[in-house]
Every structure is written in structure tokens, then in C-alpha cells.
Amino acid sequence: MADSAETITAATKKSVEATTAQVKASAEKVQAQTEKFQAAGAQAFREGVDKSVASLTEINDLGKKNLEAMVESATAAQRGVESLSQHAMAFSKKSFEDSVAAAQSMAQARSVQELLELQTNWAKSATEAYLAGVTKMTDVMTASVKDSFKPINERVTASVEKFQAAR
């Protein structure tokens, strides 16, 4: 019986050692896999944060460029309004001066015939000056609108190209 107890003890000891070795090996495998999953999770988290920061930076940059385009557009529109005002003032001043000069020359007319000729010439030149002024103002207005919309159109084009490239 003593031999059988020793054999059972030895077998149990051997079984416990084998089981302990298996548990230890399994624990090491689980620990290695856990570390691998943690590293992969940490890497995925870092990549997600990096992508989010890059996206936020890109959105911030787009917002800044859009704001700059709006300011540039408003500045161009203001320059256009100033130019239109200057042309309108110059036209009004010249028209007034021409009208005064025509009135003075008509006042010195010696006959009704001469008065009608002076009045006809003045009306013709006033109409031509008016049409030239309107043409000039139209050109200034067209250029102003074009200059005002240019920065915004450039931003829209850049955004459309970016969205198309992302698809």
C-alpha cells in the first residue's frame, strides 16, 4: 500500500505539474493575445484620433479660406461701389457744367434760329454724353460684379473638386 500511495502521489504530482504547465502556457498565450489586442486597439485609437485631428484641421482651413474669400469679395464690391460713385459724381459735375455753358450760349443767341440750333446741338451732345456715361457705368458695374464673385467662385470650384476627388 505504501507503494501504491507513493505511485498515486507521484502520479498526482506529475498530473498537477502537467496541469500547472498547461495552465501557465494558456495564461501566457492569453496574456500575449491580450497585449496584442491592446496594442491593436491603441493603434486603432491613435489612428482614429489622428484622422479626426486632420479632418478638424482641414475643416478649419477650409473655413478660414472661405472667410478670406468672403472678405475679398466684399472688398471688391466696395471698390466697385466707390468707382461707380466717382463716375456718377464726375458725370453729374460735367453735365451740370455743360448745361450752364449751354444756357449761357443760348442766352446770347441773336435770333430764334440761332437759339434752336444751339439748343439742338446741346441736346445732341447731352444725349451722347449720357449714353457714353451709361455705357461706362455699365462697364464698371459689370467689372465690379465679376471681381466680387471671383473669390467666391474660386472657393466653390475648389470645394467641388475636393468633394469629387473624395468620391
Report residue 2's pLDDT band, with 50, 70 and 90 as the boundaries.
low
Per residue in 39-89, pLDDT (tens digit) is: 888 898 899 899 888 888 988 888 899 899 999 999 999 999 999 999 999
Report residue 1's pLDDT band, with 50, 70 and 90 as the boundaries.
low
Give percent helix, percent strand, percent coil of the chain, each to the nearest 5: 95, 0, 5
Which of 55, 63, 57, 67 shows the shortest CA–CA distance to 166?
55
Query: Which residues have C-beta within 8 Å of that of residue 95, sequence separation ≥ 6?
Result: 126, 129, 130, 133
| Prediction pTM value | 0.63
The more confidently predicted of residues 143 and 11 is 143
The more confidently predicted of residues 6 and 156 is 156
- Going by the DSSP 8-state scheme, the letter that residue 108 receives in this structure is T
Q: What mean pLDDT comes out for the span 79-107?
A: 93
Q: What pLDDT is attached to residue 73?
A: 92
Q: What mean pLDDT comes out for the span 85-108?
A: 93
| CB hemisphere CA count around 98 (13 angstroms) | 18
Cα gap 54→48, rounded to integer Å: 10
**8 Å CB contact between 110 and 82:** no
Grid cell digits, residue 27: 495564461
Q: What pLDDT is attached to residue 56?
A: 87
Q: What pLDDT is attached to residue 158?
A: 87
